[in-house]
A and B are shown apart, each in its own frame.
Chain A
Amino acid sequence: MLHTAFHLGLTVGRTATPEAVQFWILAPLAVIAALGILVVKKAVHSALLMAWVMVTLAIFYIAQDALFLGIVQIVVYTGAVMMLFLFILMLVGVDSSESFVENLKGQRIPAIIAALGLGGLIASLVGRATVAGPAVGLTAANADGNVQGLAKLLFTQYVWAFEVVSALLITAALGAMVLAHSQKVRSPFAQRDLSIARFRKSSLGDAAGLPASGVYARHNAVDVPALLPDGSPAPTSVSQTLRARGDIISSSSFALESIEEQED
């Protein structure tokens, strides 16, 4: 009896060949991409791999007669959620990468053991569960169309859960605004304040404004400090931000002596 059921499960559970081909191509790629999330250094690469996994999953949804979910997966996840991730990544620094030296003692090995062990256990449960019966398929359920079928369920049987979830969504949006809102500790400096500050300083050296950047004859750009009349560079002529990034070119290569040498 059990053997017959097992045999039936094997035969009925089998799907059409094109789906099998698609699965065996995409599934390994998804697993590789997922593993890539674990090992790449830069967060932005992780995000791109993640987007790939999500697109793969969307294809699987559509292949399994879940057309609506497939579309939502692409629109909401790869479209909205992943964009949000990338946006935040840009906020906190695209370049932020982490080293792979584990600084928590006894974290990595037990984590691998526990995760793989749990995965193995669930996999063995899946193996035991599916032999019990054949797959029914969604042809009948999707007779009126997948979206219509889902809508019927959502607005009848699950309407209460649907409303609750919508309330949750609104609350989350409000919560995010509250969390991300930052209190201003001081009023921004207006032009008037800045000019007053300039004239009240100990020296009036930059009362008329900071020197403009660039060596006009040779390299007229914002990343080169201006040269003072004595040939030395003026540090205040370039943006502090560029200086912090280390994107400043030294102005010494544009000094007069070298020009004379070139002319000679």
Chain B
Amino acid sequence: MSSLEHPLYNFEITHAPDAGGHFGRFGGRFAAETLMQPLLEIEQAFYAAWADPEFHRERLDLLKNYVGRATPLYHAERLTKLSGGAQIYLKREDLNHTGAHKINNTIGQGLLARRMGKKRVIAETGAGQHGVATATVAAMFGMQCDIFMGREDMARQMPNVLRMRLLGANVIPVDSGTATLKDAVNEALRNWVASCEDTFYIFGTAAGPHPYPLLVRQFHTVIGQEARAQILEQAGRLPDVAIACVGGGSNAIGLLHPFRDDLDVRLVAVEAAGYGLKTGKHAASLAAGKAGILHGNLTYLLEDDEGQVLGTHSISAGLDYPGVGPELALMLEEGRLELDAATDDEALTALQQLTRSEGIIPALESSHAIAAGCRIAATMREDQIVIINLSGRGDKDMDNVFKHLGWLEEKQ
């Protein structure tokens, strides 16, 4: 590529945050002084890379030939029939190498790390998908890799822990706090403070201190840009609804952002309602949280009256996070984003429905989007279109799913 032009992707940065990384009143760079210089250096390196055709040539080459992009947009006719209503299309991010959308971002940040001459990468992980995607890129680039993971999550996602080890990464258990994703972020930040000279922190979601929400978004918008072109080609028009699950919000911003200026397209974020929003045992920071500052950005947080961050609950480790990306917080406040939620049970049901109707086993995270997507489609006309982001595949969740279905006990 000789200039910044591509038949499928566009590289213009729209709805950019301000110079300090603020999306309206959200976002920003609430970081300790020790991290300010490293963050400023990443911001500089990102803008320089983004303006460089060679960076995109390398990135898109890897996305195509290593990751397997573009991923299909699949018209799920049997699921559509089952739901009754709008035509359901699935954006098949589960078909990416490593089984989820996460690798779009780790390829981008990995390339950035290499450009900056870093020899080691670190990352936090919840479900383990970001950890696996980081370990994969580290293996490919020949970089040292340490992954921080809550001990609770390690137990829930053991196959991914073992995959990361197989890939040569060192998985470091985190016991502090609630021993889940937020604590893994704390520990990764602590490690990075002491190692930033030779280490790049590959942040896993579109949250955290500026520039992470921006650069994670930019690396994931390939999802929505492809989906937009694919639906125009397949159906001859834009969808009525685009829908994605939200933990930190990386797959959601990746799918939804390219539709942001298509004002006739409803954008829906599905949060994890856990045992139910009324029980207090959930991870729905947009629906039930209030503004707060955590992990470098101002956003919606699940917190108590005095600002102590609360533990969360979701059947899916990848949604089990008390915050959310600042741009989604702004889109909600501006009325551009609609909220929905799915409980643990609804996600489990949706996982089985999709599996049996289409032969596709989704990740528990993505099953939340399937549940809400089918529910919304059922309220719509047959000539309408819903695109659901199938952000990851379910292999990693099988033990957990079998346990919840009671199948493991039957065996004994």
Partners in one complex: no
